[in-house]
């Protein structure tokens, strides 16, 4: 009956360290991702949705808290609201380098938005609509920030079905449990 043998303290510590090493591999924080989406342009709508859906695909519990301009992403009218401005984006690959005064001209935001949509379509990258669908199908929690909704005069009915509503405290209480925490 080996189970009945007397365990020494040294043996007990050994067992503990074994169990702890295992436990850290299964650290529950590894399964949680909490992303804050604060930008309301087409380009910055991608990273939160791609990271959260990749997390869900890997079995993680992912949530996105949409605040400030990020509310655009889950607005019913997101297709029209999400644009990309070439101004102040000296890092944006453009067919031709342009001074800011040109990128500020009327029509350039529409041009840059169309150009970016075309680049993504040509490379078979999912659209924002498709990523939003995947997010909801795979259980990514989409939470609209109540404070900024109030500031910008949005109503709950302005947002896509499936969107939840919460404040900074709710966002933080999820972030506290998560290794993956990004402010985008």
Q: Which of residues 45-104 bind a copy of itself (CB under 8 A)?
A: 46-47, 50-51, 54-55, 57-58, 60, 67-70, 72, 81-85, 87-93, 99-101, 103-104
The footprint of a copy of itself on this chain (CB under 8 A) covers a number of residues equal to 88
Q: Which residues pair with 142 in a beta bridge?
A: 64
Near a copy of itself in 21-40, by CB under 8 A: 23-24, 27-31, 33, 36, 38-40
Contacts of 59 (CB under 8 A, 6+ apart): 31
Which residue number, 73 or 163, has a Cβ lying nearer to a copy of itself?
A: 73
What is the Cα–Cα distance from 107 to 34, expressed in whole angstroms? 36
The CA distance from 63 to 40, in Å, is 17
* Cβ at position 131, least distance to a copy of itself in Å: 11
Shortest Cβ 119–a copy of itself spacing (Å): 5
The conformation of residue 155, written as its DSSP 8-state character, comes to -
**Is the dihedral angle over the CA atoms 149, 154, 160, 161 positive or is it negative?**
positive
Residue partners of 78: CB distance under 8 A and separation at least 6: 45, 72, 128, 129, 132, 160
Which of 119, 129, 156, 164 forms a contact with a copy of itself (CB under 8 A)?
119
Q: Which is nearer to a copy of itself, 8 or 157 (CB)?
A: 8
Q: What are phi and psi of 33, to 5 degrees?
A: -125, 130
Q: Which CB atom, from 129 or from 179, has the smaller least distance to a copy of itself?
A: 179
Please identify which residue in 7, 77, 129, 130 interacts with a copy of itself, judged by CB under 8 A: 7
Candidate list 64, 66, 109, 159; residue touching a copy of itself; CB under 8 A: 109
């Amino acid at each position: 009956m080996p189970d009945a043998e007397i365990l020494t303290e040294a043996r007990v510590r050994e067992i503990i360290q074994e169990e702890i090493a295992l436990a850290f591999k299964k650290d529950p924080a590894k399964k949680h991702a909490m992303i804050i989406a604060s930008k309301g342009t087409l380009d910055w709508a991608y990273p939160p949705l791609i990271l959260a859906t990749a997390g869900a695909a890997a079995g993680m519990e992912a949530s996105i808290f949409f605040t400030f301009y990020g509310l655009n992403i889950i607005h019913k009218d997101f297709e029209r609201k999400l644009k990309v401005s070439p101004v102040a984006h000296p890092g944006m690959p453009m067919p031709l380098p342009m001074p800011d005064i040109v990128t500020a001209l009327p029509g350039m935001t529409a041009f840059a938005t169309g150009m970016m949509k075309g680049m993504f379509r040509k490379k078979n990258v999912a659209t924002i609509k498709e990523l939003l669908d995947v997010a909801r199908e795979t259980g990514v929690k989409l939470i609209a920030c109540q404070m900024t909704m109030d500031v910008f005069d949005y109503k709950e009915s302005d947002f896509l079905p499936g969107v939840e509503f919460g404040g900074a405290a709710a966002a933080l209480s999820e972030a506290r449990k998560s290794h993956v925490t990004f402010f985008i």
